[in-house]
Structure 1
Amino acid sequence: MDMDPAEISDYVWRAKYRLVDAGRSEAGIADSWRRVARAIAAAEPSGAPLWEARFFDLLQDRSFLPGGRIQAGAGTARNVTLFNCFVMGEIEDSIPGIFRALEEAAVTMQAGGGIGLDFSTLRPRGLRAWAAGTIASGPVSFMQIWDAMCGTVLSTGARRGAMMATLRCDHPDIAEFVSAKHRPGMLRRFNMSVQVTDAFMAAVRSDAAWPLVFPAAAFGPDDQGGESVARRWPGLSVPVPCRVVRRVGARALWDDILRSTYDFSEPGVLFVDRINASNTLWYCERISATNPCGEMPLPPYGACDLGSLNLACFVRAPFTPQADLDTGRLAEATRGAVRFLDDVIDVSRYPLPQQAENARASRRIGLGVTGLADMLLMLGLRYDSAQARAVAADMMRVVCHAAYRASVALAREKSPFPRFVRDAYMQGPFIRALPGDIRDAIAASGIRNSHLLAIAPTGSISLLAGNVSSGLEPIFAASHHRTILDETAAPRDFLLTDYAVEVWARGAGARGAGGESGRPGLPPAFVSASDLGPEDHIAMQAALQPFVDSAISKTVNVPQDYPFDAFKRVYDLAYDSGLKGCTTFRPNPVTGMVLSDPQCCTAGHEADYTSACHD
């Protein structure tokens, strides 16, 4: 079924966001926008009708797209959260602790939130649990319980579950974790990422031995000898003695991780030391996990409050010599979006009290962008050009600085976030890199939100905007097949045309204008994901990362015939480019193809649970 942008937008709205209750049914998408705007503006202590009108205008023209949980849940009587995702609390290394954590995860997922979990706290397979006289089965075995729970909770509703599992690169069960999804059907409800440290990367590059360790306190009284090293383990505020269980070659382990990713697209990599070093709340939290798609590194019980600016809406005179980005309007929309997302914190329900406490203490939000590739195409720029990266970086700088200025203004009006400690906050590397006037304003008045920016993959909301390119991803293809779940969770296949390509076809393209793309009927600067090398993906992500205080969800597409040695260099480039993580996708028998191009039949990819986390 071929659908134009207006039709796919209407279909997604009806399938995912339209409110249909026993005595109330929304007739059109404007009704949904009005419901959402009114619900979020209710957080305003004064002038709620004024802010409702402003929020409605922001939503109505699709220049700002709130996260899917906000659109589906705001202003309804449903007992759901407006936060897309959470990172769960520490999993205590005991049977009662494990099942308490499982219960918290189930409650969170039932309310509509995806989850991230760090399994590093669980003792490795084969280690004796001395108090019970049993032998530990290891973190991967317990992940299967979460996987089953996720499928069971899913059975009560149409929305797919979303989970991220992480494990330290020095955990003794890291090899089992890396290979856990090699068998079809195994842990399919998880995305998985390895916490990679700077020390590990240094050991890889020097081909050194790498110690696999676990806290010495977990070993029994009869097993207290052996070598130990100090490590700061999850849940512990200071480094503790950790027993060296064995040593492996760092380069061999790294090759195993990358070979698994090459063959099975799992696991991803989180550069966890970089995440913590750049965290604006470095002085009061430690991060070891992310939300399911990776753009929000979060502390225990942290939450994702997400929304995206639709960049395609801010291009004036597209596909003409006068085409430009309306940065003034973009900054204005950013200010409205920051206030909107800040208000979400006050009106949302929370599955757990710890999540409410964390969200209100930091007031962390994740404002991002979508439609970047469409914006560039409409400006006449190839996605893989240096000029495109420069324009994208300038755009993100505008959003970043406008967001921080808006948050300072909110702090003057409503107070800074409770965990704001001026001198410590001002020492964060991201804050030190802001313009002097913003730093001076933060020092004088504080800031409302600890974090402001994150670029999500925007699965379904990019379709709601008329099939704009997703997040900062390149255009997958001028047209492609995509399977979308309807309101009953039944799959339907559609042939979709990219929004910018459709604009071109109805405008300059319809007038017969040609271009450099060499493809009849396509804009001059058109380039698809299959035309790009992995280094082009990395370069675009690196161009925007300096202006994003959280992180960026980005999938680096790799051709099926890409050599493994070249593939390994992609991760070296990601690390050396200052990225906080790297996720690649190469077509393989286990995960197959998510999208297909009807012309060239090459593979594209969105993270397994992108639409579950960001619909």
Structure 2
Amino acid sequence: MTKREGLRVERHFSEPGVHPFDTIQWEHRTAGIANEKGEAVFTQEDVEVPAAWSQLATNVVVSKYFRGLQGSPQREHSVRQLISRVADTIRDWGRRGGYFASDEDLEIFHAELCAILVNQVAAFNSPVWFNLGAEPNPQVSACFINSVDDTMDAILTLAKTEGMLFKWGSGTGTNLSTIRSSVENLASGGTASGPVSFMKGFDAFAGVIKSGGTTRRAAKMVILNADHPDIVDFINCKVREERKAWALIEAGYDGSFTGEAYSSVFFQNSNNSIRVSDEFMRAFLEDKEWRTYAVTDRTRVIGTYRARDLMRQITEAAWACGDPGLQFDTTINEWHTSPNSGRINASNPCSEFLYLDDTACNLSSINLMKFLAADGSFDVEGFRHTSQIMLTAMEI
């Protein structure tokens, strides 16, 4: 049996025997966040931050990522504490998992990661900063895709799953096309509610649960296939609510995004997208009919529309309120990297993560300007090294 070799790490940003925190200037500031009226909603005085960081970066990091009850001894008060909480936890997990060839490689990795983070060369997604090192079993993935079956138990389970993901700072996306339409019958008699009705409940939970506990609101994607019988209702559901909000604003209610007008109407806590296939797009281009089919019997036609009429409704709705968007199902699945594991039905709220149902991903961002020299040259080696360090950290 071949002995496994661990990872070797070389220095690029750090120096032997010198902690990256000791290579930069630090200063104390007051961090603050104001609402749209200019009223202070968050203030923390005497926080230690790198002198090179902007005041905006200071305000965001302190208000969103520092852990501990404000005013208590447990409250973080320095970026040193924040980065150490995250980087030290990753280092300890890396040691426990046997990722590195030697203790020296582990320590170099840790130093490089600290240097990258404190100098704003790269950053993790928010759940890492929220939870890593602060919770025993931290939720560190930002993006989740959840599935749902056509049963009441599954629908209510999805509501609970989404709520817990929102609580720890993550976003979710689900394709609700598996839920039977509002024109189909229930096995026990009567007519089904349809996905748009259940969306009201999902939306309400998302609105009351601030993602990350106290840091940001929930991020949510709702998707419906273009051949679902409730597609017209889905296209226009947000427009109807938008018009109600306009009426409330005209009546004198606060029209800001946190005001009473929009908090009084449905569907304000999610992105809505429609899955369209190449077949639908061809029907649109050729001005042909488009059919919708029963969820419980895919051979039964429920509705027939002109594809161009549907597209017109989609574009008018998007003009009025920004939703729905389009996801091109055929292209997405043609580009699928692991099609044998199943098809791609949904995405995360921002739609950069399109993958299998019931999966999640970690995100990080690299600051490309850090690698651009005054003469226009690009530090390829530094970029490659940063990518390797960040990917290793995310893998751990």
* Residue type at the aligned position of 2:299: C
Aligned to 1:303: 360
Deviation readout 1:104-149 (Å, 9 max, x if unpaired):
22232223321111110111112111x2212112110000010112
Aligned to 1:122: 179
Cα shift at 1:154? 2.9
Structure 2 Cα separation of the partners of residues 51 and 158 of structure 1: 30
Comparing 51-60 and 114-123, the one that deviates more: 51-60
Structure 2 Cα separation of the partners of residues 107 and 9 of structure 1: 28
Aligned to 1:197: 277
* Residue type at the aligned position of 1:138: G
Name the structure, 1 or 2, with higher relative contact order (CA <8 Å, separation 6+).
Answer: 1
Structure 2 Cα separation of the partners of residues 151 and 259 of structure 1: 25
1:65 to 98, 106, 123: 123
Asked if the contact 2:177/2:225 (under 8 Å) is kept, the reply is yes
After TM superposition, what 4+ stretches of structure 1 lie above 6 angstroms from structure 2? Answer: none
Structure 2 Cα separation of the partners of residues 17 and 207 of structure 1: 52
Is it true that 1:151 corresponds to 2:207 in the alignment?
A: yes
Asked if the contact 1:80/1:112 (under 8 Å) is kept, the reply is no
Q: Secondary structure at the match of 2:93?
A: coil
Deviation readout 1:529-548 (Å, 9 max, x if unpaired):
xxxxxxxxxxxxxxxxxxxx
Is it true that 1:323 corresponds to 2:376 in the alignment?
A: yes
Cα shift at 1:72? 2.0
Aligned to 1:13: 61
Structure 2 Cα separation of the partners of residues 119 and 214 of structure 1: 14
Cα shift at 1:32? 1.4
* Count of residue pairs the alignment pairs up: 313
1:138 to 181, 194, 206: 194
1:186 to 266, 274, 296: 266
Q: Secondary structure at the match of 2:282?
A: helix
1:39 to 70, 81, 89: 89
Aligned to 1:484: none
* Residue type at the aligned position of 1:246: G
Structure 2 Cα separation of the partners of residues 120 and 283 of structure 1: 21
Unaligned runs of 5+ in 2: 1-33, 39-51, 243-264
In the TM superposition, 1:564-603 aligns within 5 A as: none
Deviation readout 1:11-68 (Å, 9 max, x if unpaired):
1111011133555343321321122111122232143433221211121211111111
* Residue type at the aligned position of 1:301: D
In the TM superposition, 1:386-465 aligns within 5 A as: none
Structure 1 Cα separation of the partners of residues 195 and 169 of structure 2: 25
Cα shift at 1:158? 4.0
Is it true that 1:50 corresponds to 2:108 in the alignment?
A: yes
Aligned to 2:321: 264
Cα shift at 1:341? 1.4
Aligned to 2:229: 172
Cα shift at 1:96? 2.2
Cα shift at 1:262? 1.7
Structure 1 Cα separation of the partners of residues 77 and 270 of structure 2: 36
User: When the two structures are superposed, what TM-score results if normalisation uses the length of structure 1?
Assistant: 0.49
Structure 1 Cα separation of the partners of residues 156 and 75 of structure 2: 40
Structure 1 Cα separation of the partners of residues 275 and 185 of structure 2: 25
Q: Secondary structure at the match of 1:87?
A: strand
Q: Secondary structure at the match of 2:229?
A: coil
Structure 2 Cα separation of the partners of residues 180 and 299 of structure 1: 27
Q: Secondary structure at the match of 2:273?
A: strand
Cα shift at 1:92? 1.5
Deviation readout 1:470-505 (Å, 9 max, x if unpaired):
xxxxxxxxxxxxxxxxxxxxxxxxxxxxxxxxxxxx
Q: Secondary structure at the match of 1:186?
A: coil
Is it true that 1:334 corresponds to 2:387 in the alignment?
A: yes
User: When the two structures are superposed, what TM-score results if normalisation uses the length of structure 2?
Assistant: 0.74
Percent of counterpart pairs with the same letter?
27
Asked if the contact 1:92/1:98 (under 8 Å) is kept, the reply is yes
Cα shift at 1:323? 2.6
In the TM superposition, 1:181-260 aligns within 5 A as: 181-182=238-239, 183-184=241-242, 185-215=265-295, 218=296, 241-260=298-317
Aligned in 2, Cα 1:98/1:25: closer, same or farther, shift over 3 Å? Answer: closer
Structure 1 Cα separation of the partners of residues 214 and 54 of structure 2: 27
Structure 2 Cα separation of the partners of residues 28 and 248 of structure 1: 60
Deviation readout 1:198-238 (Å, 9 max, x if unpaired):
111111111111111124xx26xxxxxxxxxxxxxxxxxxx
* Residue type at the aligned position of 1:114: G
Cα shift at 1:169? 0.8
* Residue type at the aligned position of 1:82: V
Structure 1 Cα separation of the partners of residues 215 and 122 of structure 2: 26
Structure 1 Cα separation of the partners of residues 206 and 336 of structure 2: 30
Unaligned runs of 5+ in 1: 220-240, 344-615
Cα shift at 1:79? 5.6
Structure 2 Cα separation of the partners of residues 122 and 251 of structure 1: 25
